[in-house]
A and B are shown apart, each in its own frame.
Chain A
Amino acid sequence: EPEVTQTPSHQVTQMGQEVILRCVPISNHLYFYWYRQILGQKVEFLVSFYNNEISEKSEIFDDQFSVERPDGSNFTLKIRSTKLEDSAMYFCASSGQGGSYEQYFGPGTRLTVT
């Protein structure tokens, strides 16, 4: 069964450093998403991406964040200058169609900012 993969599974970085979280969505999917889950809290939407552009972004997704689909298979989330409060589990998801259709989630990348 096809699945969404994410690398690395755990990333430790120092405050102020740039990080790139990588995702490989399911190959024929067209819609891509990033969510995050701060420890002990609910999963929050960050951004959706379709047709090589951002469809929607949340208030959390400020200028420090960017997304890219550089080569038609990978989907990346970049945090330009990490802050302590960026420590969270980041989930990538993909969907064959938008809206009501199932989003398939990856296993997540745990980001720890020290």
Chain B
Amino acid sequence: AQSVTQLGSHVSVSEGALVLLRCNYSSSVPPYLFWYVQYPNQGLQLLLKYTTGATLVKGINGFEAEFKKSETSFHLTKPSAHMSDAAEYFCAVTSNRDDKIIFGKGTRLHILP
């Protein structure tokens, strides 16, 4: 069975500061990993994904994440936070065998002026 753990249900950073949202996964097969963002009252938008190949993946809006198999982690980072980054972020995992996506509980990112 697969699972995702996101550390911190709420994270606050100052505008211009580094954003780091933590995600650890559990999977008995090679995982495929995703970060989704959800703005208030909106649906889920894919930020980035890791399937195979390069372990550092870049996404939209300046976000990137690194797949670290030894640490079973897929942390999301952005060098400089912007007010518009305030949203809920979900880490998710699936596998080549299973269709369903397993989501973490989400981390709400607050940006302080």
Contacts and interface: CB of A to CB of B under 8 A. Distances in A.
Interface of A: 31, 33, 35, 41-45, 48, 50, 55-56, 58, 91, 95, 98-100, 102-108
Given A45-B102, A48-B99, A100 B94 contact: yes
B46 A99 contact: no
Interface of B: 32, 34, 36, 42-46, 49, 51, 90, 92, 94-106
Given A42-B106, A43-B90, A108 B100 contact: no
Nearest to A4: B43
Contacts of A55: 99
A33 B102 CA distance: 13
Given A42-B105, A42-B106, A43-B44, A102 B99 contact: no
Contacts of A44: 103
A1 B96 CA distance: 26
A108 B43 contact: yes
Most buried by B among A43, A107, A108: A43
B43 A33 contact: no
B94 A105 contact: no
Contacts of A43: 44, 90, 92, 101, 103, 106
